[in-house]
Amino acid sequence: MKENIRRNSMNEGIKARKPILIAGVVILTICLCFIFPFEYNRTNYITDLKFTFLSLTVAMFTLMFGLMGKHFYKGLLFLICSALFSFIVWFFLYPAGWLSPVVAVWGGIPSGVIAGLLFLLLNFEFIKDENRYRLFFKRLISYLVILGIVSFLFDKGGDWIFDISEYLKSRK
């Protein structure tokens, strides 16, 4: 009975924030379909994609607010903690050297943010759930697996856009 009432109230909360979710999806679609291809043709470095990153950030915050509602700040705090945790893990697990702090900043922080976003996307009720301690270990393991996969892809992935575009050029 309690579970049914809680599920209905969550559905009503999602319905009330439906326009915000639609706006976030529209911003994300515009970013990925129009802004990114336009900027990609004019740039040589990833740091030149200013409008792409800006619109992705706006879409991310809009979708986070649409999914989490009044728990939006808890989600931001979770992302910050995820970035800090990933930074610490990269700092201590990456081979020691004079570039170790730089690698931890350039690899650890973005992988922590992306892992946190993927975790919240797959489990966005985590922040709102009142019985979060019951599923804590299951969620912790899932977060650590996501962080491990994202960190591995950041470390060993390379420049995927360049590799894919070179592959497509060679096929023509």
Please report, for the chain, the start and end positions of each structural domain, with discontinuous segments joined by +.
2-171
Q: What is the pLDDT of residue 109?
A: 86
First to last CA, the chain: 61
Residues of the chain with pLDDT below 70 are 1-16, 124-133, 158-162
Q: What is the pLDDT of residue 12?
A: 59
DSSP H helical ranges for the chain = 2-16, 18-30, 36-42, 50-68, 72-93, 100-103, 109-122, 136-156, 160-171
pTM of the model: 0.69
Name the packing angle between helices 136-156 and 72-93 (round to 10°): 60
Provide the CA 55 distance to its chain's centre, in angstroms: 14
